[in-house]
Every structure is written in C-alpha cells, then in structure tokens.
Structure 1
Amino acid sequence: KVSFISMGELVHTLKTEEFTRKSQIRMKRIRDSNLVIIDDLMYMAMDTREANLFFHLINDLYDKASIILTSNKSPSEWGEIIGEPGITTAILDRLIHRVEVIQFDDSSYRMKHRSSIFGEKSVQN
C-alpha cells in the first residue's frame, strides 16, 4: 500500500483528523501504508501544534513503513521551519536513523524544460 500526500494537504488532514470523518479515513490509510510519500516537505512554517502532529505521524510510521520525503530544504534548515528545536530533533532522529539521502543539485525540472515548451519566447511575451 502506497500513500502520496503533499505537506500542505497532510498538515490540513492532521489538523482536522479529530473533527472530520474524511480526515480520519485518510490518516488511517496513511498509517496503514507500507510506503508514505510526503511531497514539498518544509515549504511552509509550522506552528507548535502542527509540528507536534507531524512528529506523532512520523513516530507512528517509524519502523512500520518506508517514508519518502521531497524537500527543497536541507535537514539543517528544518529547525527554522518547525521552530521547535526539541520537535525538530525528535523528527530528524526517527527519519535519519535508517535514511538514504538523494540530493539533486540541478535546477528545477519544470524550469529546465520550460524553453523546450515555449521555444525562445518567454511566458511573459
């Protein structure tokens, strides 16, 4: 079982899980997955509640599922986004325990191939 969710959707789903049946079902599917893919991790700042909810999800998945995270921020920058050093450390502790980091240094795939889509003309022309 594989679940894919963007970080924005995940935070919203975690925050509404105790109130809506739809979020409860979605989170159950995520927690029951063998592989969870979270896209665009750390593109937005989290408040303390959101960071705690995210930590509890990572803790639930730890040793039960494989996790793939995509992010344009390195783990050293996560503390700024999460804002809570203790929570950041706990999340990274679980994620980095058995990690394989794949780093791409190229420019965005979308931007790299933009010229092939639009030719020589800019989107603004």
Structure 2
Amino acid sequence: KKVRFFRTVTLVNELIQAKEEGRLGRLLKQLNKLDLLICDEWGYIPLDREGSQLLFQLIADCYEKRSVIITTNLEFSKWNGIFYDDKLTSAIIDRLVHHCHLIVFTGRSYRLEHSNIRA
C-alpha cells in the first residue's frame, strides 16, 4: 500500500510550486497513485485562491477512489475561514464527508498533559 503524510500547508505549497514549474500534472499523477493520503494540521493556515483550488482539485481526484485522512481541531462550521470562498468550502466538505468515518476526540490535549509546564 502506498501512503503519504503531509502537513496540509506543505502539500499546498508543493502543489503551487509544481504548478509554477510546469509539473503539476506529474505531481497529481503521483498523488493519485496513493492508496491513502494523510493531511495533518488541516486549516491551521488559511489558503489563498490558488492554494484552495489546487487542494480542491486533489480532494476531488481522490473522491471515491482513494482514502483520505484529515486531522484538524476545527469543526466544519469554521472551515469557511480556511478556503478562499464558501462554495469551494462546501464542495470540499461534501466530498470528504460523503463516505467518511468521523472520529471526534474530547478532553485535554495530549501535548498539554505531557508538557513540562504545569499550571
């Protein structure tokens, strides 16, 4: 099985760079051969129009063909602040949740629990 893990901002930057260098098709072809794409820290840095569109293109390519794992602490209602426009946000959410398994963790942060700093 082929798996790739990306911080979402790193993935978007790679997509933008590949587009600028004329190799976007090649990168998308490589990513479309994956069995699983993992996007960590989804939405922590808002995306511009180009980044949002490229990420949508990748998610749309994955839709119903390969597995995608998204990690984020942002609920769906806050995703409008991530992507360039509301329609694109809705389209991404629609494709991600259609066949999804949503896992919600509650409680304190693991990192805070194991931090050397005590309140």
TM range, normalised to the smaller chain?
0.7 to 0.9
- What whole-Å deviation, never above 9, does each CA across 1:15-74 have from its counterpart, x for those lacking one? 011244887765443221011111000001111111111110000111111010000101
Separation (CA, whole Å) in 2 of partners of 1:69 and 1:36 = 9
Count residues in correspondence.
117
Q: Secondary structure of 1:49's partner?
A: helix
Q: Which runs of 5+ in 1 are unaligned?
A: none
Residues 32 and 61 in structure 2, CA contact (< 8 A), matched pair in contact too? yes
Equivalent residue for 2:76? 75
Letter in 1 for 2:88: I
What residue is the counterpart of 2:90 in the other structure? 89
Gaps of 5+ in 2: none
Structure 1 counterpart of 2:43, which letter?
M
Report the 3-state secondary structure (helix = DSSP H, G, I; strand = E; otherwise coil) of the residue aligned with 1:38: strand
Structure 2 CA distance for aligned equivalents of residues 97 and 24 of structure 1: 26
Task: Indicate yes or no: 2:66 matched with 1:65.
Answer: yes
The 5 Å alignment of 1:44-59 reads: 44-59=45-60
Q: Secondary structure at the match of 1:64?
A: coil
RMSD of aligned residue pairs (Cα, Å): 2.1
Structure number with larger C-alpha Rg: 1
| Residues 32 and 63 of structure 1, relative CA distance in 2, 3 Å threshold | same
Percent of aligned pairs sharing the same letter = 33
Secondary structure of the residue aligned to 2:19 is coil
Structure 2 equivalent of residue 2 of structure 1: 3
Cα distance in 1, alignment partners of residues 23 and 52 from structure 2: 21
Matched to 1:14, the amino acid is L
